[in-house]
Amino acid sequence: MARIALFYLASFGTSLLGNSITAIALPLLVLFTTGSPLGASAVAIAAAVPSAVAGLLMGSLMDRINRRTVAILSDVISAVALLILPIVDLTVGLNLGWFIAVAVLNSFGDVPGITAREAMLPAVARSAGMDPSRLIGLRESLAGVSLLAGPAVAGILVAALEPVTVLWITSGTAALAAVLTLGVPPRASALPDEPARERSSGSSGSVFHGLVIIFRSPLLRLMVLLGLALALVLAATQGMVIPVHFAFRGEAGFVGFVLSSLAAGLLLGGGLFAALGGRIPRRTWFFVGVIVVASGFVVIAVLGPLWTVFAGAAIVGLGGGCMNAVVGLTFVENVDDSERGRVLGAQNALLTLVPAAGIGGAALLIELGSLRLAMVGVTVLWVAAAAAALLSPRIRRLGREGS
C-alpha cells in the first residue's frame, strides 16, 4: 500500500480512536465533577448545535483551501480544547460552565475533521493509485477497529487514572492525528483546478449550499435520508433501549459490549467491501447491507438473552459496514470535487442533530408504553426506511459516475 494511503488511514484511525475514548471519559468527568446526570446531558446538547454549524461553515471553507490543512487545523482545535479541562482543573477548578465552553470549542474540531478526511479521500486514492472503493472499505474497517478499541481503552484508562487525567492522553491523540496528517503530501489533497473552483464559488452564496445540492439530487437525498434514519434508530437503540433493558435485568455492565459487537460487525463489513467491492455490483452491496441491517434490528427487537442482543448488534454492524461504504462511494461519484467539502459538511451537520431525537423519542415511547414498544417502533422505522430506499428507482443509478 502506498505511503500516502497509510498516513491517511493512520490519521483517520488515530483521530477516531481519540474521539471514541473522549466519548467515554468526558461524560464521566462531568458526572464526577457535577454529580448530576443532567449536567452530562446539558454538555452533549450544548455541543450538538455548534457541531452542526461547524459542519456547515467548515464544509464551505474546505472547498476553498486544501482539505489537508482543514484536517490538521481541526485536530489542533480538538487537542487545545481537550487540554483546557485538565489545566483548569489544576488551577481554578472545573464547573459546568467550563465543560459547556470546551464542548462548544471542541465541536469545531470533531465534525470538520471527519468531513475533511472524507472529502480528501478521492484525491488520496488517485495519488496512491488505489481504487476508491478499496480505500473506503479499509476506512470503514478502521472505523470498526477504532470503535471496538476505543471503549476498551477508555475503560482501562478510567480504571487506572482519573477521567481528567485521561484527557491529557486524548489531547495528545488529537495532536498525533494532526502530525500523521502532515505525512499526506499537500498535492494528495489538492483542490480542483481554478476554473472549477470559480464556477463553484460563483454558484454558492451561502453556507447552506451543501444542503441545497443534497436535496436537489434525488439519489443523494435518498442516501442522506437513509443515513439519518439509521443514525436515529442506532441512537435510540444504543442510547436508551438497550441500557434500560440491561438495567432492568441487572446486567448494566454488559452495555458496552453491544458497542463492541457493533464495531466488530463494521470491521467485517468494511473488510469485505475493501476486498470484494470491485467484483460485486454496487447495487448488490447496497441491497444486502440494508437488508442485513434490518435483520439485525429484528433480532435485537426480541430483547432476548444477552447473546441474541450481541448477535443482533454484530449483524447490524456487518450490514452497516457494507451500506456505509456504498453511500461513501455514491458521494464520491456524484458530487463535484469542488463542492465535496460543503456537501459532506452538510451531511455530517445533519447527522450530529439526529441522535438526541432518537434517544428522546425512545424515552417517550418507553414512558408512554413499554420498552418493547420502543424497540419495535424503531425497528419498524428502519424497515420502512429500508423498504422505501430499496423500492426507489434511483438505486439503479448506483455506481454510475455523475448520475
Residue range 281-313, pLDDT digits in tens: 888 889 999 999 999 999 998 888 888 989 999
In a domain, 201, yes or no: no
In a domain, 183, yes or no: yes
Does 185 share its domain with 263?
A: no
In a domain, 198, yes or no: no
Does 97 share its domain with 20?
A: yes
Res. 199 pLDDT band, cuts 50 70 90: very low
Does 87 share its domain with 161?
A: yes
Please say if the pLDDT value at position 202 is more than 60. Answer: no
Residues 6+ apart with CB under 8 A from 71: 11, 113, 116, 117, 120, 178, 181, 189
Full domain range(s) for residue 383:
208-403
Please say if the pLDDT value at position 128 is more than 60. Answer: yes
Does 85 share its domain with 213?
A: no
**pLDDT score for 37:** 59
State mean pLDDT over 197-225.
72
**pLDDT score for 401:** 46
For residue 140 the three cell numbers come to 470503514
> Could you tell me how many residues make up the chain?
403
Query: Exposed, middle or buried, 172 (CB in 10 Å: 0-12/13-18/19+)?
Result: middle
Please say if the pLDDT value at position 180 is more than 90. Answer: yes
Mean pLDDT of the chain: 81
**pLDDT score for 399:** 56
Contact present, 341 and 61 (Cβ < 8 Å): yes
**What gap in Å lies between CA 17 and CA 24, rounded to an integer?**
11
CATH number of the domain within which 83 lies: 1.20.1250.20
pTM: 0.76
DSSP of 282-304, one letter per residue?
Answer: HHHHHHHHHHHHHHHHHHHHT--
**What gap in Å lies between CA 332 and CA 341, rounded to an integer?**
11
Does 165 share its domain with 27?
A: yes
Does 5 share its domain with 93?
A: yes
Does 182 share its domain with 293?
A: no
Does 19 share its domain with 167?
A: yes
User: What is the helix (H) or strand (E) element at residue 37, kind and residue range?
Assistant: helix 37-61
In a domain, 154, yes or no: yes
Does 212 share its domain with 182?
A: no
**What gap in Å lies between CA 347 and CA 231, rounded to an integer?**
12
Residues 6+ apart with CB under 8 A from 137: 270, 271, 272, 273, 274, 275, 277, 325
Number of domains in the chain: 2
In a domain, 335, yes or no: yes
Does 338 share its domain with 249?
A: yes
Question: Which is more confidently placed, 268 or 19?
Answer: 268
